Amino acid sequence: MTPDMTPCGPQLLAAAAAAGSPVPATVFAAFEHTARTHPQHPFLHIPASAAAAWNDGRPYDLRYGQALHQVQRLAERYRAKGYRGGCRVALLLENRPAFLLHYLALNAAGASAVPLNPDYRAAELEYVTRHSEAVLAVTWPQHVDRLRAAAPCPVVAAGDFAEDRDPLPDAGPGPAVAASDFTGEGGPLPDAAPRSPAADARGAECAVLYTSGTTGTPKGCLLSNAYCIAMGTHYVTEGGRCEVRAGAERLITPLPLFHMNALVASTMAMVLTGGSIIQLDRFHPASWWRDVFESGATILHYLGIMPAILLGQPPGEWDRRHAVRFGFGANANPRDHQAFEERFGVPLIEAWAMTETGAGGAITASREPRHPGTRCLGWPRPGLEIRLVDDEGSEVPGGAPGEALVRQSGAEARAGFFSGYLKDPDATAQVWRGEWFHTGDVMRRGPDGQYHFVDRRKNIVRRSGENIAALEVEACLLEHPAVRQAAVLAAPDSLRDEEVLACVVLDLQAAAPDRDTALSLQDWALQRLAYYKAPGYVAFVDALPTTATNKVRKTLLAELAADPLAGERCFDLRTRKKRSP
């Protein structure tokens, strides 16, 4: 029987209002309410390990009242230069305080943020900034040149936003300008021509997050204020092992702010409850538990790779010297789940959601029995409907795996979900066939009614928490002069969940199927794609199996994908995939 839970979606917001809790219309309104109510509460803490590149290795702390002051000043500068509803501003600001300050300021001005992955290469930066029609890109001085070379919009360097002399550039069509650093050292930005804003603040666009799909290029997920508020509200009312105590939590996360998890789930959960965000620049295994202890973290966020890496660290004095009440995340390797909980004393609460589903389709294993090690996702909350279907769309029998279709019950089936894919109504309609959101993920329903994750149907490689579209990598490899055909698959990886395997048919007159050629192909991809997208395995094959319509039958390559090194001409290049300094 499903335990008693707080409802989600539109019912959740109604319940909050009935209880007398304010339901803010925008992300900034939620932040402002908390900042005015609890100005002395800690808002943001950056441990020394995460501040080495910009704060001389000193910890950084910002209270809600201080942050509100900076956000308001920055928002006024945006407004004064024409950044209002309908404008999109790209942010390449990494996991640093300025990211959140700009994000909140843009929201206060009514504009939308387009977070950029710092690992993007020129073609990726050009695609996202052009596709999103960003009227401005803000970044750090060290990234200005490469971003200006790629982005069709003006680019400025971020500086110290607390200074009165900071000029904010104008928004609008006009020639690209020299980089300005918000401290008065450079020239003004051009004006932006505002587009039509949404009719109401709740439905107004808050951000565009680009997520991998199956079309080869990233899709821009349109996220509204209502989406973000619903995600945060869903989190803080989940209860069970995920109880969030108002004003008492300190949530540590190494996850990137250009992803939904950090930008929406953890940030909004803390903002709505007056909690503190402990934001790392990235995951530092050696100093992780010390940072957890010294920061006073009570909640930690993780992705599947993290428990495995931490279990591989030698026992240390910090392993149990912490106040963490639970970890919240996804895709912990089943073999690591229970071992992690026993060693570190932290229950790992597995959850499932997509950028597209937000709170509308989220499910969390927050109540016992959680069945650690089985990929259990828990019971759906009231208001969430789930169907499991086969390839023909028919419901599968009890206990059988099937693709999960999700929606909210009642008239608002899409409540809490994304607003759609930017400039792609056909793709939006495709995932919402029959008013059910088609997740592409396979689940099964256990005898106690809890759902368990099985696998992904989508043509996606999930490496260290990053979703990689196989078609995007294939398109890159096919531009290499020695490549005739290419098929990219997911190969298992004990540390990173999955690795990119490229099966390549060569033009043998141009290159030989040897290690040197494999290295050349990987270098080709590393120069054009974010490092994690490049092949970790390169396998040379004589031909690729195809259908009558010349589509590659990847199912016939499953044996090679399951054990790439069993192939005679497969080369393991995983150790060469490293983030650029």
Q: What is the CATH number of the domain that holds 418?
A: 2.30.38.10
| Token output for 455 | 């696998």
Task: Determine how many CB atoms are found less than 10 A away from the CB of residue 207.
Answer: 26
pLDDT band at 172 (very low <50, low <70, confident <90, very high): very low
What gap in Å lies between CA 390 and CA 395, rounded to an integer? 6
Q: pLDDT higher for 53 or 149?
A: 149
Residues 82, 142 share a domain: yes
Write out pLDDT tens, residues 553-574.
888 898 999 999 988 899 999 9
Instruction: Tell me phi and psi for residue 239, to 5 degrees.
Output: 70, -160
| Helix then strand then coil, % of the chain, to nearest 5 | 30, 25, 45
24-28 mean pLDDT: 92
Same domain, yes or no: 205 and 257: yes
User: How, if at all, do strands 88-92 and 112-115 pair?
Assistant: parallel
Residue 261 three-state SS? helix
Helix axes 9-18, 225-236, angle to 10 degrees: 70
Q: For the chain, first and last CA: distance in Å?
A: 52
Same domain, 41 and 132: yes
Contact in structure between 510 and 487 (CB atoms under 8 Å): no
Show the domain range for 35.
9-364
Whether 101 is covered by a domain: the verdict is yes
CB atoms within 10 A of CB 300: 26
Are the C-beta atoms of 9 and 16 separated by less than 8 Å? Answer: no
d(CA 456, CA 240): 28
Strand (E) or helix (H) holding 291: helix 288-295
Residue 169 maps to a domain? yes
Edge to edge, the sheet with strand 299-303 lists 60-63, 42-46, 276-279, 250-253, 299-303, 326-330, 348-352, 363-364
Q: How far is CA 369 from the centre of its chain?
A: 28
Residue 4 resides in a domain? no
In-domain check, residue 2: no
Going by pLDDT thresholds of 50, 70 and 90, the confidence category of residue 304 is: confident
Give the mean pLDDT of 133-150.
94
Q: How confident is the model at residue 16 (pLDDT cuts 50, 70, 90)?
A: low
CA 474 – CA 477 distance, rounded (Å) = 5
Strands 363-364 and 348-352: antiparallel
Q: What is the pLDDT of residues 354-388, one digit of tens each?
A: 999 999 999 999 999 999 999 999 999 999 999 99
Q: How many CB atoms lie within 10 A of CB 58?
A: 12
Please check whether residues 429 and 400 belong to one and the same domain. Answer: yes
Nearest to 438 by CA among 399, 365, 386, 362: 386
Q: Note whether residue 581 is domain-resident.
A: no
Q: What is the mean pLDDT of the chain?
A: 88
Q: Would you state the pLDDT for residue 391? A: 85
Q: Last residue of some domain: 429, 456, 483?
A: 456
What confidence score (pLDDT) does residue 555 get? 82
Task: Assess whether 235 and 342 both reside in one domain.
Answer: yes
Whole-structure pTM value:
0.85
Q: What is the CATH number of the domain that holds 510?
A: 3.30.300.30
Q: How confident is the model at residue 162 (pLDDT cuts 50, 70, 90)?
A: very low
Is 129 a domain residue?
yes
Say which residues have a Cβ less than 8 Å from residue 508's Cβ, sequence separation at least 6: none
* pLDDT for res 166: 36
Is there a single domain that holds both residue 97 and residue 223?
Answer: yes
Name the domain boundary from 364, 386, 408.
Answer: 364
Average of per-residue pLDDT across 223-238: 96
Give residue 47's region: left, alpha or beta (phi > 0; psi -120 to 50): beta
Based on the domain organization, do 432 and 448 belong to the same domain? yes
| SS3 state of residue 298 | coil
Q: Hey, what amino acid is at 455?
A: D
| pLDDT at residue 169 greater than cutoff 60 | no
Model confidence at 190, in pLDDT bands (50, 70, 90)? very low
- CATH number for the domain including 171? 3.40.50.12780
Closest C-alpha to 209, from 267, 128, 150: 128
Q: Is residue 370 part of a domain?
A: no
Domain final residue, candidates 314, 335, 364: 364
Q: What is the CA radius of gyration of the chain?
A: 24
- How many structural domains comprise the chain? 3
- Same domain for 424 and 447, yes or no, is yes
DSSP SS3 for 146? helix
* Same domain (yes/no): 151, 290: yes
Residues 354 and 398 in one domain: no
Residues 476 and 450 in one domain: no
In this structure, is residue 322 part of a structural domain?
yes
Is residue 138 within 8 Å of residue 90, measured between CB atoms? yes
Q: Do 469 and 425 have their domain in common? A: no
298's tokens: 């009570």
Give tens-digit pLDDT for 53-98: 888 889 999 999 999 999 998 999 899 889 999 999 999 999 999 9
Q: Which of 140, 150, 148 is nearest to 182 (CA)?
A: 140
Pairing of strands 460-463, 451-456: unpaired
